[in-house]
């Protein structure tokens, strides 16, 4: 066993991305993947396992052998899924947290063809004609869905949720104008905001963010205390030998510290965190508890 651990990695490493290609989790994974492969000296192979708001890939990762051959880059859905779905695992028992890789704002954007010039325009239109305006998200139960539901409940207006099987398919329809509104992390929409195709109406950080300059947060637009940043976390399988976990932590930290990697992630609309494992564990526990309470208190369901 000691020899096997000291020789790790001795084969290609699988990194499960529980979302289809083209979404933010896939984008961020592919930014640091080449450098992580270089540092470890073995190929890191991204395995896209989309479906059921990230839970299909997460279930597979939770069932993998704790030998360092399989890892997962989790999205914020991992926290909300713990309350919304009946899963065959508990995240903090099934996984060994390695690092909060990055976090960033969610933004509500409108297609350029819509009449909505501000978030207040959306609220007024939705109050005048409830359940007639649609908004897209990357999936049922994700932070984009849950936080938008909370906005509606706080503001007394009602939108129609259109969930997709990931951010990639959702952004395609948003850019095409097939859905008027889209609540999304900035990573997959920043280029479309810059091009003027998608018009940002508000962000979920406490105040304004450098990633969407000039756009006020929802907290600044009358939703006091509202804050819901998105995030990505690197997780291993619980029970993986500590020397292997330590080696992966070192390699991931080195990869994320690379100026080119950091620059590419941040220019996409996220901030590199590269936290330690204990900080990651405490962060996940807080997110599961925080959004679990919001989901229960507001009766948010997978069909809402």
* Domain shared by 82 and 135, yes or no: no
In a domain, 96, yes or no: yes
Asked whether residue 109 carries a pLDDT value surpassing 60, the answer given is yes
Q: Same structural domain for residues 98 and 154?
A: no
Residues 193 and 88 in one domain: no
Q: Is residue 278 part of a domain?
A: yes
**Stretch 39-68: mean pLDDT:** 96
> Could you tell me the CATH number of the domain that includes residue 21?
3.40.190.150
Q: What is the pLDDT of residues 269-290, one digit of tens each?
A: 999 999 999 999 999 999 999 9
Torsion angle of C-alpha atoms 119, 170, 143, 257, degrees rounded to 10: -110
Pairing of strands 160-163, 95-104: unpaired
Last residue of a domain, one of 165, 187, 221: 221
CATH number at residue 152: 3.40.190.10
Task: State the pLDDT confidence band at 1, using cuts at 50, 70 and 90.
Answer: very low
Q: Are 90 and 232 in contact (CB under 8 A)?
A: no
For the stretch 240-254, pLDDT in tens is 999 999 999 999 999
Q: Is-contact 75 18, C-beta < 8 A?
A: yes
Domain around 155: 106-221
304 lies in some domain: no
Tell me whether residue 268 is in a domain.
Answer: yes
Residue 140 has a pLDDT of: 84
pLDDT digits (tens, 9 = 90+) for 134-176: 999 988 888 999 999 999 999 999 999 999 988 889 999 999 9
- What integer best gives the mean pLDDT of the chain? 95
- Among 179, 204, 221, where does a domain finish? 221
Residue 303 counted as domain residue: no
Residue 35 has pLDDT above 50, yes or no: yes
Residues 82, 97 share a domain = yes
CB atoms inside a 10 Å sphere around CB 130: 14
Same domain? For 93 and 151 the reply is no
Q: How confident is the model at residue 268 (pLDDT cuts 50, 70, 90)?
A: very high
Residues 92 and 6 in one domain: yes
> What average pLDDT score do residues 3-22 get?
86
Has residue 302 been placed in a domain? Answer: no
The answer to whether 188 and 22 are in contact (CB under 8 A) is: yes
pLDDT band at residue 238 under the 50/70/90 scheme: very high
Same domain, 99 and 235: yes
Q: Give me the pLDDT at residue 5, please.
A: 57
pLDDT > 60? residue 304:
no
For residue 6, pLDDT beyond 70: no
Same domain for 91 and 130?
no
Is the same domain home to 61 and 165? no
Q: Based on the domain organization, do 90 and 141 belong to the same domain?
A: no
Task: Verify that 86 and 117 share a domain, yes or no.
Answer: no
Check whether residue 96 and residue 180 sit in a common domain: no
pLDDT at 133 over 90: yes
Nearest to 205 by CA among 132, 291, 103: 103
What is the total count of domains within the chain?
Answer: 2
From 190, 221, 252, give the residue that closes a domain. 221
Confidence tier at 51 by pLDDT (50, 70, 90): confident
Q: What is the pLDDT of residues 179-232, one digit of tens each?
A: 999 999 999 999 999 999 999 999 999 999 999 999 999 999 999 999 999 999
The span from the CA of 244 to the CA of 236, in Å, is 10
User: Left, alpha or beta for 167 (phi > 0: left; psi -120 to 50: alpha)?
Assistant: alpha
């Amino acid at each position: 066993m000691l020899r096997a651990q000291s020789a790790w990695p001795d084969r290609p490493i699988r990194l499960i991305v529980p979302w289809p290609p083209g979404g933010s989790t896939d984008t961020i994974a592919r930014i640091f993947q080449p450098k992580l492969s270089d540092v470890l000296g073995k190929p890191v192979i991204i395995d896209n396992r989309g479906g059921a708001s990230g839970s299909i890939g997460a279930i597979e990762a939770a069932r993998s052998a704790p030998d360092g051959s399989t890892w997962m880059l989790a999205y914020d859905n991992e926290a909300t899924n713990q309350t919304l779905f009946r899963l065959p695992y508990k995240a903090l028992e099934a996984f060994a947290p390695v690092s909060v890789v990055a976090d960033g704002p969610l933004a509500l954007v409108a297609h350029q063809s819509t009449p909505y010039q501000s978030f207040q325009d959306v609220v007024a239109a939705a109050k005048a004609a409830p359940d007639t305006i649609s908004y897209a998200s990357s999936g049922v139960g994700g932070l984009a869905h849950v936080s938008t539901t909370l906005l509606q409940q706080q503001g007394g207006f009602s939108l129609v949720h259109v969930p997709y099987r990931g951010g990639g398919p959702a952004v395609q329809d948003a850019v095409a104008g097939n859905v008027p509104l889209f609540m999304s992390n900035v990573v997959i929409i920043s280029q479309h905001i810059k091009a003027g195709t998608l018009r940002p109406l508000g962000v979920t950080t406490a105040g304004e963010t450098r990633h969407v300059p000039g756009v006020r947060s929802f907290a600044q637009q009358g939703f006091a205390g509202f804050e819901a940043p998105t995030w990505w976390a690197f997780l291993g399988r619980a029970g993986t030998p500590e020397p292997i976990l330590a080696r992966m932590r070192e390699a991931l930290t080195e990869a994320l510290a690379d100026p080119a990697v950091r620059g590419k992630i941040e220019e996409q609309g996220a901030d590199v965190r590269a936290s330690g494992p204990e900080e990651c564990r405490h962060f996940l526990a807080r997110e599961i508890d925080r959004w679990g309470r919001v989901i229960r208190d507001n009766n948010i369901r997978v069909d809402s």
